[in-house]
Structure 1
Amino acid sequence: MRAIKKIHNSEYRPIADLITYSPMPTRSIEMIDPFLFLNHHGYQTYPANNRGLPFGPHPHRGMETVTFILEGDIMHKDSSGHESVIGPGGVQYMTAGKGLIHAEVSSDQFKKSGGDLEILQLWLNLPASKKMMSPNYIGLQKEEIPVLELDDSKIKIQQLFGEWNGVKGAFEGTFPIQMSTIYLAKGGAFEKEIPASENIFFYVVRGKVSVNEKEVDFRHLVEFENHGERLQVEALEESVIILGHALPFNEPVVAQGPFVMNSEAQIREAYEDYQNGKFGSWNG
C-alpha cells in the first residue's frame, strides 16, 4: 500500500461572511506538485436577500482552477467571453494561461432566495511550457459529468479527468491528470492502483474514511509518500472525497496573489501586463 506521510488539518480562514477552511497551503504543507491550493467554502446556509459569494472581478495567470459545487451555485463570467451559472453537483474548469479576468459570484436567484452553500476550489499549476497558453473555461452541470459506480452502488464516482474502469472524464486536462469526486455511503469501499511516481491529492470534504488503515476526518488532507501503489479506502460514515493524481512538474513555483509563474521576473511581467490591459477588458 502507498505509505502515508502526514495528515493535515485545514486552517480556518473566513472571507467576509463566507465560512472558509484551507488545507493547503498551511504552516504544515506548502503544495503537492502540481496541486497548489485548496479553499473549502461552507458548509453554511445563507438567508434570503444575501450578498452571495464575494469573488468579484480579479485576474489570474499561469494556473488553472477546478471548482466543485456541492451546494448552492456559482455564476462565472470572464474577459474571454465565457459566462455560466453552475448548480449543485456541477464542476467548473478554468485555464487562466496567459491571463484573464474573471468573477465568481452567486446567481441573482441564490442571492434573493438564499439556501445551502458548499463549494471548493482547487488550483492546479501549469507546466512552464503552457503557462502562456490561451485561456479557456468549461462549466458542466451534474448531469453532464460521467459517473462510475462501485461496491454495489455504495461508491459513486464523478469522473472529471482521466479514465477509471473505462469511464472517461468530463474534462480534457492540459497535462496528464486523473481527478474524481467520490461519494461514499457508509461501509462503501474501493481500491485504486496509482503509480508511485505520481503525487496524490486526497481531501475528505465530508464524513470520515479509512485510507490505507488510517482514519481521516472531514476537512483533512492526506499527504502520501512516493512508494507503494495501492489505495484502500472505506467510508466510516457517509462521506465525500476529492481524489487526484499526476506526475510532479519539478519546476520552480513563484506565486504572488493570483499569479503562479516560475520566476520573480515573470510575476512582475504579469502585474505589468494586467495593468496595461493585456488580460482583456471587463464589462461588468
Structure 2
Amino acid sequence: MIEMVIDARRKDLGGFEVGRVLPFHSRRMVGPFIFLDQMGPAEFAPGSEAINVRPHPHIGLSTLTYLFEGEIMHRDNTGATQAIRPGEVNWMTAGKGIVHSERTDPLKKSRGGPMHGMQAWIALPEEAEEIDPAFWHHAEDDQPTYDNNGLFARLVAGEAYGASAAVKTSSPLFYVHWELAEGVRTAPPPGKGFVGSGGYSERALYVAKGEIEVGDRVFHEGQMIVLDPNAEPTVKALRPSTVMALGGEPVGPRIIWWNFVHSKQERIDQAKADWKAGRMSLPTEDDIEFIPLPDVPSTPEPAPAPVKPEPTHPV
C-alpha cells in the first residue's frame, strides 16, 4: 500500500523554519510535483524580519503558494503585485523565465503574527517549458470545497472527486487540502493501478499537522506517505489533522539547480548565465536588491543526483 515514507528535513532560514519534503534523494518527484516545502508553523514577534525573500529567478516550472495562516506579498516582473492569504491560491508560471520576490508587508511586520503554509513547484511538460511567464491569483471562494461531519476538503489545483479547480494547469494533477476532525475517515483520489479507476499514476499524502492512520500504520506531522499505484487506502485522523493530498502524471526526468528546473542541462546553464549577467529584469516595485547566483561549480547533475545548491525559496 505504501511505497515510501519521507520525513521533512527542517531547515532554519534565519529565524524561520521550513520542512523540506521534495526533492528527496531517492524520490525526486511525485507526478509533476518536484519541490514541496512546509512553511512554519511560526509565530513572528512584532518588528521581526518575518518573510523577506529578495527577487530571484525561475524557469521551467509553476509555483503554487497556499497558506493556512498569515500573509505573503508577491511581486514579479510580469507586473503582478498580490497578497496571498489563507485559502487563496497564487499560481506563477515561470516558463522561459520569471523573477519574483516574497515578503511580509511592513505593517504586518510591525504587528507580528502567525505563518503557516505550503509551497509546491510543479515541473512543466517539455512542450510548455518555454512558454511566456504568467501569474494568476484565485480567491478562497474560487476553489471547490466540501464540508460535512468533520471533514473539510478544498481542491486547490487540478481535478479530483469529479471537480476541477479554477487554476489552469499544464499537465494532469491534483492537490487537495483536508482538515480532519478526530476519528474522521476519507480517501485520496484513486490510483491508476486500480482497475477501472481512471486515476493517477503517482499519489502522496503529506501530514502538515496532527496524526493519521493509513492501513495499519500511524503517521505524524512532517511525514509524506507515497502511495502504491494499486493502493486504495482509507485515511483516518487519530486527532485533528491537516493533510495535503497530491499527485498526478509524471512529466519525465528533470534537472533542478537552485531555483531552475528544466529537462535540458544547457537551458539551466543559460539561465544561470542570464541571471549572473543581469539579463533578467527585476520586479518594477521591488528592484533595489536581488539574490545573486550561488557560487557553485557548474557540473551537470541529472536526476537522481543530490540537489545543490538549495533553492532560495523559504518558500
TM-score (normalizing by structure 1): 0.91
The answer to whether structure 1 residue 18 and structure 2 residue 16 are counterparts is: yes
Look up the SS of the partner of 2:233 in the other structure. Answer: strand
1:272 alignment counterpart: 273
In 2, the alpha carbon distance for the partners of 1:277 and 1:98 equals 15
Does the CA contact (< 8 Å) of 1:14 and 1:21 recur in 2? no
Look up the SS of the partner of 2:29 in the other structure. Answer: coil
The answer to whether structure 1 residue 206 and structure 2 residue 203 are counterparts is: no
1:168 alignment counterpart: 164
Look up the SS of the partner of 2:131 in the other structure. Answer: coil
2:239 alignment counterpart: 237
Cα RMSD for the two superposed structures: 1.8
Letter aligned with residue 254 of structure 2: V
1:44 alignment counterpart: 42
Does the CA contact (< 8 Å) of 1:80 and 1:280 recur in 2? no
In 1, the alpha carbon distance for the partners of 2:133 and 2:78 equals 7
Letter aligned with residue 228 of structure 2: E
Letter aligned with residue 207 of structure 2: V
Look up the SS of the partner of 1:5 in the other structure. Answer: strand
Look up the SS of the partner of 2:12 in the other structure. Answer: coil
Look up the SS of the partner of 2:141 in the other structure. Answer: helix
Does the CA contact (< 8 Å) of 1:273 and 1:279 recur in 2? yes
In 2, the alpha carbon distance for the partners of 1:159 and 1:86 equals 17
Letter aligned with residue 248 of structure 1: P
Cα offset for 1:168?
Answer: 2.5
Q: 1:112 aligns with which of 88, 110, 113?
A: 110
In 2, the alpha carbon distance for the partners of 1:268 and 1:106 equals 31
**Residues 1-284 of structure 1 mapped to structure 2, 5 A cutoff:** 3-27=1-25, 29-149=27-147, 152-191=148-187, 192-196=189-193, 198-228=201-231, 230-249=232-251, 251-275=252-276, 277-283=278-284, 284=286
Does the CA contact (< 8 Å) of 1:92 and 1:140 recur in 2? yes
In 2, the alpha carbon distance for the partners of 1:79 and 1:182 equals 33
Look up the SS of the partner of 1:187 in the other structure. Answer: coil
Does the CA contact (< 8 Å) of 1:194 and 1:231 recur in 2? no
In 1, the alpha carbon distance for the partners of 2:57 and 2:63 equals 12
Letter aligned with residue 171 of structure 1: V
2:304 alignment counterpart: none
Q: Structure 1 stretch 187-196 or stretch 25-34: which is displaced more?
A: 25-34
Q: Structure 1 stretch 168-177 or stretch 274-283: which is displaced more?
A: 274-283
Cα offset for 1:252?
Answer: 2.9
Cα offset for 1:216?
Answer: 1.2
Does the CA contact (< 8 Å) of 1:71 and 1:117 recur in 2? yes
In 1, the alpha carbon distance for the partners of 2:94 and 2:112 equals 30
TM-score (normalizing by structure 2): 0.82
Cα offset for 1:212?
Answer: 3.1
Identity of aligned residues (%): 24
Look up the SS of the partner of 1:238 in the other structure. Answer: strand
Letter aligned with residue 190 of structure 2: E
Look up the SS of the partner of 2:239 in the other structure. Answer: coil
Cα offset for 1:21?
Answer: 1.3
In 2, the alpha carbon distance for the partners of 1:28 and 1:162 equals 26
Does the CA contact (< 8 Å) of 1:7 and 1:216 recur in 2? no
In 1, the alpha carbon distance for the partners of 2:81 and 2:215 equals 41
In 1, the alpha carbon distance for the partners of 2:257 and 2:174 equals 27
Look up the SS of the partner of 2:38 in the other structure. Answer: strand
Alignment gaps of 5+ in structure 2: 194-199, 287-315
Does the CA contact (< 8 Å) of 2:38 and 2:116 recur in 1? yes
Does the CA contact (< 8 Å) of 1:53 and 1:105 recur in 2? yes
In 2, the alpha carbon distance for the partners of 1:72 and 1:98 equals 30
Q: For this pair of structures, how many residues does the alignment match? A: 278
Look up the SS of the partner of 1:50 in the other structure. Answer: coil
In 2, the alpha carbon distance for the partners of 1:214 and 1:41 equals 26
Does the CA contact (< 8 Å) of 2:23 and 2:36 recur in 1? yes
**Deviation string, structure 1 residues 188-232 (Cα, Å, up to 9, x no partner):** 11134232251113211110111233211111011222333x231
Cα offset for 1:70?
Answer: 0.9
**Deviation string, structure 1 residues 96-131 (Cα, Å, up to 9, x no partner):** 111010001112232111011112211111111111
